[in-house]
Structure 1
Amino acid sequence: MLLTDRPPRPQEPGPALTRTPTADVDAWFPDVSATPDPAAPLRLICLPYAGGTPSIFRDWSAALGSAVAVVPVLLPGRGLRIREQPYTSMRPLAEQLAAAIAARGLAERYALFGHSMGALVAYEVACELRRRGFAEPAHLFVSGSKAPHLYGDRADHLLADPQLRDLVRDLGGLGPDEQSGEAYLERRLPVLRADLTVCDRYRWTPRPPLRCPMTALCATHDPIATAAQVEAWREHTTGSLLRRDFPGNHFYLTGPARSLLLTQLRRDLDALVHAHTGEPAGPSGRNPS
């Protein structure tokens, strides 16, 4: 069912709903076997952009090598979770996802990757896991997102449907086949609007910075996550922060720059595995192409 052109103004966040109890943690990780690969030195937990699904991480395992177990996250309201109500606020989302990560035994030897909304969720999940006494990620990759303290300046979730479609088109989110992309977007508008509500209502809560190193990934023509806004992630870690720039718009990771991104991620993750295990990276180590 599509939204009307003038949706009612969303209500203010109320008490957190009960969602996905621990017994159902598998729903968050539909592409992962019941037991995480014990032979993989590192798990890369991947979070999609607003309205996105784990399909954007398809083939990442092959590209990143056998030393990295790619763990895509499926949020409520899409795919096998289509009948679940999507979140509209960050706190319950981060709390439930962190609980699922811990329950599945993924809160060790792990890194986080998130794009746009996914970057913000990844950061909040890292903070929540730390609060629960778990280790911080070995590395946090934040892509296509301004720093957390810069959120609060947009209200995209209140756009009428035509304006929301235009926004996605202008950001390059329809893909090379716009007609097919528009048909897909039409079905995704309700969950996209819910995800944008999470981002628009988000307000950073001051807390100690993380200690883990970060890589902040930026597209050269991204109007909603500029180089300066991405660089501002530096305030949220006492570890190192490296910014990498890629050609393209906000959705650069699904366009021509995808192979460049995966090549660079492979190098960064190889180096991370080597630093933590002492095993050689690349074809001579555990992770051949």
Structure 2
Amino acid sequence: MSHAPSQPGEWFPPSGRAPDDDADVQLFLFPHAGGTGAMYREWAATVPATVEPRVLHLPGRWGRGDEAPLTRLPLLLARIGEALEAELDGRPYALFGHSFGALLAYRLAVQFEKEGMTAPSVLAVSGWVPGEDILAKQRAVPEMSDDELVAAVKELGLLPTGSVLAEELLRTALPALRADFGAAAEYLDDGAQVSCPVVAFAGRSDPLVVARAMGVWADRTSNFVGVTEYPGDHFYLFDHAISLQLSLQQLLQLPT
């Protein structure tokens, strides 16, 4: 099935706060599987004026619900790459990806480097490592029933226990979740490295990724900054957004 190209603004729309054309750095945020830009509004509200946050909005979800989700990883990376390139304006930029978003951010950094484009100043990855143990779990998701998938997402801590409304909202996001997990299942690790600094973040109680496994990223760059662990599960980052942002500011050598 073919998909008509989308305008760059649909992929990385403005954050909603005041224009950030004078910010020193662009920060592109890549959400988890099934995630939407709406879930990362806190980032836009708390990052300093020196940083312009832009959140990836994929087809088939918030703001783009009339578009079919992209289920093939090569096509997805190509479309995001085109949109990201169109957003770059000469300022330094950083990529932050959580879970499925970390996969996307990493592969885009690899892609840009191969094409001779300006590399990100920092690649920040969270809740995902390019290992076969993680891929095996991702490949199982497309075969799950709706009820099994909802139960699996609950185990990740995405839904408050007993929240009927939240579960109903989650069920509306199942097509996007399946699309993202299907794309992730196509990923075959080639050990590709990037030249930019890489920093990793993890939740200590993440049921998907053991925090110490994030050290694998040291093999993907000659400039590995290290791993920072936070209390929490797979979605620890929503409770520690400001601390994460402070770490990124320091790496980008911005005023704190």
- Provide TM-score, normalisation by structure 1: 0.80
Q: 1:48 to 1:72 in 2, by over 3 A?
A: same
1:47 is displaced (CA, Å) by 0.7
Distance (whole Å) between structure 2 residues aligned to residue 135 and residue 243 of structure 1: 25
**How do 1:58-69 and structure 2 match up within 5 A?**
58-69=41-52
Match of 2:54 among 71, 77, 85: 71
Q: How many residues align?
A: 252
Q: Is the 8 A contact 1:151 1:199 kept in 2?
A: no
Q: Aligned AA for 1:90?
A: L
Match of residue 263 from structure 1: 242
1:150-197 deviations in whole A, cap 9, x for unaligned? 553122121111111110111111136621210111111111111111
Q: Aligned AA for 2:180?
A: D
Match of residue 168 from structure 2: 183
Are residues 1:80 and 2:63 paired?
Answer: yes
Identity fraction in percent: 31
Match of residue 120 from structure 2: 137
1:34-79 deviations in whole A, cap 9, x for unaligned? xx83311111100111111001221323322101100111011112
1:6-60 deviations in whole A, cap 9, x for unaligned? xxxxxxxxxx844425xx1111022258xx8331111110011111100122132
1:201-238 deviations in whole A, cap 9, x for unaligned? 2112343x101111111111112111233221221111
Q: 1:176 to 1:110 in 2, by over 3 A?
A: farther
Q: Aligned AA for 1:268?
A: S
Distance (whole Å) between structure 2 residues aligned to residue 150 and residue 110 of structure 1: 31
Task: Report SS of the residue matched to 2:14.
Answer: coil
Q: Aligned AA for 2:237?
A: L
Match of residue 31 from structure 1: 14
Match of residue 4 from structure 1: none
Moved more, 142-151 or 124-133: 142-151
Q: Aligned AA for 2:69?
A: P
Q: Is the 8 A contact 1:213 1:239 kept in 2?
A: yes
Are residues 1:253 and 2:237 paired?
Answer: yes
Q: Is the 8 A contact 1:147 1:229 kept in 2?
A: no
- Answer with 1 or 2: which has the greater Rg: 1
Stretches of structure 1 lacking an aligned partner (at least 5 in a row): 1-15, 283-289
Task: Report SS of the residue matched to 2:112.
Answer: helix
Are residues 1:200 and 2:185 paired?
Answer: yes
Task: Report SS of the residue matched to 2:95.
Answer: strand
1:89 is displaced (CA, Å) by 2.2
Distance (whole Å) between structure 1 residues aligned to residue 183 and residue 175 of structure 2: 13
Are residues 1:112 and 2:91 paired?
Answer: no
Task: Report SS of the residue matched to 2:136.
Answer: coil
Q: Aligned AA for 1:271?
A: Q
Match of residue 91 from structure 1: 74
